[in-house]
């Protein structure tokens, strides 16, 4: 398919997804606009495959958010009133993959390096999202810095259930991402998998040390840990 056709298709799909997500109360108006910007950036400056991967992650995140939503709302842990996410939420997880595709667009990278950097950002975000959504159902949650028991949903809180599920999700996203971008399943996919696990752990550490005292927001936490995970993944690839 011609590149210009894929570009138009990407813009159309990004628009449809943003509008439908708003109608379904998954995104606020600002969130829908941010979703369109992020999707278009990844699709136009990256590739249609990269856009597809980002879209798959987004849909999975929405599904995880809506799962047992009544319970989360009763605990006061939901986003917005109906689980809708704002522009800050979207940019918090969307800026890292946008940054990777823009860097690659301006200065083309080693193809495998690009794949690892991009997939790592998605893996970190996906693992953290699923861990947060599933962790609220854990019977016991512990602060990652002190290992003292804390209420579910507290920043920096981790659980066996959330950690196990997020690790599995990180592996699945890494496998899917690698297959979508390369058409193969290579041992190198273990790098973004490890980056996803590391990023998820860092998110909890930053939540306890920086987010709880008010030094950073959860959006900054999400963005920074995805970038760090991506950088670590890139360094790992360059040193093997």
Band of the pLDDT at 129, cuts 50, 70, 90? confident
The confidence score (pLDDT) of residue 240 equals 84
Summarised one tens digit per residue, pLDDT across range 45-69 is: 999 999 999 998 888 777 766 665 5
Summarised one tens digit per residue, pLDDT across range 212-238 is: 999 999 999 999 999 999 999 999 999
The confidence score (pLDDT) of residue 213 equals 92
Is the pTM for the entire model greater than 0.95? no
Q: CA nearest 57: which of 93, 21, 12?
A: 93
Summarised one tens digit per residue, pLDDT across range 3-12 is: 778 889 999 9
d(CA 97, CA 235): 17
How do the domains of the chain map onto residue ranges?
3-239
Number of other residues whose CB lies within 10 A of the CB of residue 76: 7
pLDDT of residue 205 exceeding 70, the answer is yes
Count of helices and strands (H, E) across the chain: 9, 3
**What is the gyration radius of the CA atoms in the chain, in angstroms?**
17
Phi, psi of 201 (to 5 degrees): -65, -45
The confidence score (pLDDT) of residue 161 equals 83
């Amino acid at each position: 398919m011609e590149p210009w056709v894929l570009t138009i298709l990407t813009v159309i799909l990004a628009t449809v997804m943003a509008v439908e997500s708003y109608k379904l109360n998954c995104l606020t108006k600002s969130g829908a606009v941010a979703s369109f910007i992020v999707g278009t950036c990844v699709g136009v400056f990256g590739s249609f495959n990269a856009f597809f991967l980002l879209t798959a992650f987004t849909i999975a995140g929405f599904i995880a958010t809506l799962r047992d939503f009544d319970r989360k709302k009763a605990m006061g842990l939901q986003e917005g009133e109906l689980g809708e996410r704002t522009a800050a939420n979207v940019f918090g997880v969307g800026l890292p993959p946008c940054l990777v595709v823009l860097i690659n667009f301006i200065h083309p990278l080693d193809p495998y390096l690009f794949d690892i950097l991009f997939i790592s950002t998605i893996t970190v975000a996906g693992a953290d999202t699923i861990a947060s959504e599933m962790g609220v159902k854990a019977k016991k949650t512990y602060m990652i810095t002190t290992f003292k028991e804390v209420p579910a949903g507290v920043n920096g809180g981790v659980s066996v259930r959330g950690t196990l599920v997020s690790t599995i999700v990180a592996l699945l996203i890494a496998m899917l991402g690698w297959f979508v971008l390369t058409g193969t399943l290579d041992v190198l996919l273990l790098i973004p998998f490890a980056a996803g696990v590391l990023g998820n752990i860092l998110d909890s550490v930053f939540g306890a040390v920086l987010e709880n005292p008010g030094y950073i927001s959860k959006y900054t936490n999400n963005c920074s840990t995805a970038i760090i995970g991506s950088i670590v993944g890139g360094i790992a690839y360059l040193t093997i």
